[in-house]
Homo-oligomer: A and B are copies of this chain.
Amino acid sequence: MTVRVGVIGAGMIGQDHIRRITQVLSGGTVVAVTDVDAARAQSVADGWPGAAVYPAGRELVASGDVDAVLVTSWGPTHEDHVLAAIEAGLPVFCEKPLATTEDACLRIMDAEMAGGRRLVQVGFMRRYDAGYRALKAALDEATIGTPLLMHCAHRNRSAPPYGFTTEGMIADSAVHEIDLVQWLFGEPVAATSILKPRRSSRAAEGLHDPLIVLLEMASGVLVDVEVFVNAGYGYDIRGEIVGESGTVAHAEAAGEVTVKAGGARRGRVPGDWRDRFAAAFDAELQDWLNAVAAGTSTGPGSWDGYAAAAVTGSCLEALRSGQRTPVTLAERPEFYAKAL
């Protein structure tokens, strides 16, 4: 079976997923595109023979021509598109965030539960990275004993040129670690705090870069995440888990080859997230296509999108107040009980 995918949102990430489905992955084809900018939708569709253009997400979902929906539109529109797909009984892959408020996430969960079938996957692609999978395997195999601590760093070469905010450092950047630690440790974040180190003079006005985000897991495992979006030297993602009898960490990324020249031994640091996580993006979407074809659901779902939103909300409150802030989480429905 070739999965016929409809894409809602034809911006950079949408186009990248279309390319991926069309040129890289197996078992999918893009048959429908829509975008708030109709001209952009048309232009993108012109590049991929076989993709019809629809005036809006609702029409695309209702067309009867798509087997599954990919939502890559602007965050505040996610709720509507995901709900539309759920109502139509179509599997839907939604780029993070699932929705921009906790309430919206809860409404999506309610709709999905009402339908009685898991339909939603959220784009937390790092769960498909071989490095994070190996961290999780080490935890699951007790290689380092009971986990106590985790140190993370999330460094971008430079922040987007304008409009990027301190809040965005949490909601757009740290949200990856927020999801990952709940997946790695198999438990929710219970409280958060934000620390403000000396501010980089390279950050745009009003941006407090870098930050330290502290995440306290329910068991007491303490996670510190350095978020530094103007790190200057490259894209550097680090994680080290400290357990009772040892540690496990991402191997240092230094490229494919090592050069010795001019008194130095050197390797390459990734330039950006595409460079670092290309294989994870491919694996994520291939997994989704396979699951759709098989009529199952395997990746991070609505509950994970909701939990990430709740912790993100706690962090934003901690940023505002300067105080340690508990996370308030709804009870996890039985429907979402199976750990993914």
Residues of chain A touching chain B, judged by Cβ–Cβ distance below 8 Å, are 22-27, 130-131, 133-135, 138, 143-149, 151, 153, 195-202, 210, 212, 214, 217, 219-222, 224, 226, 228, 230-234, 236, 242, 244-269, 271, 279, 286
> What residue in chain B is nearest A144 (Cβ atoms)?
B261
Residues of B within 8 A of A247 (CB): 231, 233, 259-261
Least CB distance from A173 to B in Å reads 15
* Given A23-B27, A200-B148, A233-B263: A195 touches B214 (CB 8 Å cut-off): yes
**Chain B residues with CB under 8 A of A135:** 257
Contact of A261 (CB < 8 Å), options: B27, B134, B245: B245
Chain copies in the assembly?
4
* Given A134-B255, A197-B222, A257-B131, residue A263 in contact with residue B234 (CB < 8 A): yes
User: Which residues of the partner chain B approach A231 to less than 8 Å between Cβ atoms?
Assistant: 242, 247
Known contacts A148-B198, A199-B220; A260/B244 CB under 8 A: no
Instruction: Show 21 A/B contacts (Cβ-Cβ < 8 Å), sorted by A.
Output: A24-B25, A131-B257, A135-B257, A143-B259, A148-B198, A148-B200, A148-B228, A149-B226, A202-B245, A224-B224, A226-B242, A230-B244, A245-B261, A245-B262, A246-B260, A246-B261, A248-B260, A250-B258, A253-B265, A263-B271, A266-B267
